[in-house]
Chains A and B, each alone.
Chain A
């Protein structure tokens, strides 16, 4: 009987030691993760709400922290289990350049401010997450002001410094469980002579009785721009000017609305019209506009 009792104690001891070993093993990991202790519940890990402002006090807790402080023992073990069950990658949303969304091959300014929201319920690896510009990685942990990453809100800001040419810009995010997300965009920086590309009107043909037409175009850089609309015998019927930096004169996508009324106070008649996008006295793009009521 004593033998049996001894064996039971021995097995229990082995089990406890094993648990402690497991916990210690997690705590031994060197990578830091962002995690919000208050988010830990029996249901798993919820969105972060930690109030941390810098990398050293971001609420970063390693599993050693978990085991040694508030989440030692069984709690820490449950946290580990919760993290281990996370298969959802971080979210990267609201990516903007100078406050504007972009699509592939858009023009941006070389010093555009890249902003995004990078979040994950389990936390973001500051070392493994960051911005990648043409294969040059700058991790969140190495962000230097004005670059910033706020773990609480997930807001990220990074001032680009790009030369003219095509650039691949990525935002990579890795969470505690090695789930990763990547935002990739190829964009253009062109500080050369002003030009407008991808110039269109929508709809085409345009019916002034059914709303406004949209004149859309891409500028390679900020510039003062004037739009001229001529009729089929080259008589000017409408014009508008837009200062550099604002809609109509800003780098990238511009969209100007036209209500179909000419500068003569009349609704444009059916026929062909020719839009000229002009900057510095030079026509940088043209669009053929059909009006059909």
Chain B
């Protein structure tokens, strides 16, 4: 009970922090997650989802490898490489998500006008995420991840910064077809784990609480939903569906709410497909941004390998036991075994000698 209390305290300690740097992992990990409205808080065993809720790692059944690429608005490109595996002392995952963007123009003022000097510089950002997840009980799992951030502008004095933070998560398999997940991302406040810049500035990564569920209403269909809460942001919803008409094909769709101010969300739409063969998966997602569809809509590509069960394999619906009509019980037909004609000598069986009690002589009468 004390451990649970400590976890809860850690989960919410970050809420008092006003921080402003960006966690690149909020972009989404894997095209499958993006295609399903960026839902991943309750997705146990998926190699991508372990970097969203580390408790998902507890269900890794073996080696998993993943990758993702996207280019947002032709301004900034992201590359993800990650992997995870089952071990005897809990399951581990490691991911790298990096982004680069060039062409930041240096400017000056001439004749009262802002003009370019002709010079430019670049920006890069990366996060390395180390995940640990373990089952606590049969239906309960916990996880934690350590994230190392690096950001920087090239050729700018003091223009690099680095820091760390951590995520905590829990997964509860409430029913065979229902999983609930809770993740507290960037739990540590800025005072504990700041990103320190070369200029001397320090800032934190904003915490984010994700509450999610996965529900399998029927075979081949998966429903997922996440609720996100962060300081100064309105509560926002993410929902997704995955349909597997055939074993190797998954068709996905979702909605993704993104806060646009402290009181408003913008709802975007996602879709995608997944192709899988013997553990190898290719996933594609299209993110349709309703605010600026022409530039902000984006394509995501993932290639992954996952040992054992396919990610988010649709669980069968709970079996309903119905009384079967009585059938004629077929008794097994007895077969006649022919005895070989050659008589073999039977093994000698020692017959126990019967104990013969000697009869006492009858009493003689005098």
Q: Does B73 contact A (CB under 8 A)?
A: yes
Q: Does B177 contact A (CB under 8 A)?
A: no
Please state if B104 and A264 are interface contacts (CB–CB under 8 Å). no
Please state if A290 and B75 are interface contacts (CB–CB under 8 Å). no
CB distance from B70 to the nearest CB of A (A): 10
Q: Does B153 contact A (CB under 8 A)?
A: yes
CA gap between A231 and B261 in the complex, in Å: 13
Q: Does B79 contact A (CB under 8 A)?
A: no
Please state if B232 and A234 are interface contacts (CB–CB under 8 Å). no
Please state if A265 and B232 are interface contacts (CB–CB under 8 Å). yes
Please state if A270 and B197 are interface contacts (CB–CB under 8 Å). yes
Pick from B22, B105, B153: contact of A232, CB below 8 A: B22
B 215-247 to A, binary, CB cutoff 8 A, 1 in contact else 0? 000000000000000001100000000000000
Please state if A293 and B201 are interface contacts (CB–CB under 8 Å). yes
Please state if B292 and A283 are interface contacts (CB–CB under 8 Å). yes
CB distance from B297 to the nearest CB of A (A): 10
Q: Does B259 contact A (CB under 8 A)?
A: yes
- Near A by CB (< 8 A), chain B positions 240-286 give 258-262, 266
| A contact residues, range | 35 or more
Please state if B75 and A286 are interface contacts (CB–CB under 8 Å). yes
How many interface contacts (CB-CB < 8 Å) are there between A and B?
A: 139
Pick from A266, A271, A281, A286: contact of B151, CB below 8 A: A271
Q: Which of B21, B26, B104, B266 has the most CB of A within 10 A?
A: B104
CB distance from A160 to the nearest CB of B (A): 22
Q: What residues of chain A lie closer than 8 Å to B262, measured between beta carbons? A: 263-265
Please state if B76 and A292 are interface contacts (CB–CB under 8 Å). no
Please state if A270 and B161 are interface contacts (CB–CB under 8 Å). yes
Q: Does A200 contact B (CB under 8 A)?
A: yes
Please state if A266 and B21 are interface contacts (CB–CB under 8 Å). no
CA gap between A292 and B104 in the complex, in Å: 13
CA gap between A203 and B233 in the complex, in Å: 28
Please state if A205 and B153 are interface contacts (CB–CB under 8 Å). yes
CB distance from A194 to the nearest CB of B (A): 14
Q: Does A167 contact B (CB under 8 A)?
A: no
Q: What residues of chain B lie closer than 8 Å to A276, measured between beta carbons? A: 73, 292, 295
Q: Does B87 contact A (CB under 8 A)?
A: no
Say which one of B115-123, B301-309, B348-356 lies at the interface with A.
B115-123
Q: What residues of chain A lie closer than 8 Å to B261, measured between beta carbons? A: 236, 263-264
CB distance from A256 to the nearest CB of B (A): 11
Say which one of B46-54, B106-114, B180-188 lies at the interface with A.
B106-114
Please state if A292 and B103 are interface contacts (CB–CB under 8 Å). no
If the complex has contacts A201-B107, A232-B76, A233-B27, are A271 and B159 also in contact, measured as CB distance less than 8 A? no
CA gap between A233 and B71 in the complex, in Å: 10
Q: Does B364 contact A (CB under 8 A)?
A: no
Q: Which residue of A lies closest to B23 (CB)?
A: A233
Please state if A233 and B72 are interface contacts (CB–CB under 8 Å). yes
Pick from A103, A234, A288: contact of B104, CB below 8 A: A288
Please state if A200 and B292 are interface contacts (CB–CB under 8 Å). no
CB distance from A115 to the nearest CB of B (A): 18
Q: What residues of chain A lie closer than 8 Å to B111, measured between beta carbons? A: 103
Q: Which residue of A lies closest to B28 (CB)?
A: A233
Please state if A234 and B114 are interface contacts (CB–CB under 8 Å). no
CA gap between A292 and B132 in the complex, in Å: 33
- Other 15 A-B pairs with CB < 8 A, given A262-B20, A283-B295: A198-B116, A200-B114, A202-B107, A204-B107, A205-B104, A233-B24, A236-B261, A269-B20, A270-B197, A271-B21, A272-B76, A281-B294, A286-B73, A286-B295, A290-B153
By a beta-carbon cutoff of 8 Å, the part of chain A in contact with chain B is 101, 103, 198, 200-205, 214, 216, 228, 230-236, 239, 253, 255, 262-272, 274, 276, 278, 281-283, 286-290, 292-293
